[in-house]
Amino acid sequence: MDGVTTAVRDPQALAADTAHARRLGYAGKLCIHPAQIGPVTDGFAPSESELRWARAVLGTGEAVTTVDGHMVDKPVLERARNLLARAAKPHTAP
């Protein structure tokens, strides 16, 4: 979980911080203002290309194989399952 972006009136800073946190492997970010919730949620949502990748991986079954030239084994299958599960959860703001 990434820390807060204190510049609550700077959506560009929030977007940059969120994108950076995602590249580092974080799956979420703490928010200190209600206006940050939607952009942060959107920033961590799986992209269409990630969803296509996850569906392709899960379409291979449980055997070790390759998708787009990359090895697919149990940890990769779990990553694909988790990505699709995150995408299926509805976004609800308090």
Q: What is the mean pLDDT of residues 13-32?
A: 96
Confidence (pLDDT) at 86: 86
The overall longest dimension of the chain from CA atoms, in Å, is: 49
Tokens of 30: 């703490």
Q: Would you tell me how many other CB atoms lie within 10 Å of the CB of residue 49?
A: 8
Is the pLDDT reported for residue 93 higher than 60? no
Q: For the chain, give every domain's residue range.
A: 1-45, 46-89
Secondary structure of residue 25 in the 3-state scheme = coil
**Full-prediction pTM beyond 0.75?**
no
In this prediction, residue 29 has a pLDDT band, given cuts at 50, 70 and 90, of very high
Confidence (pLDDT) at 40: 97
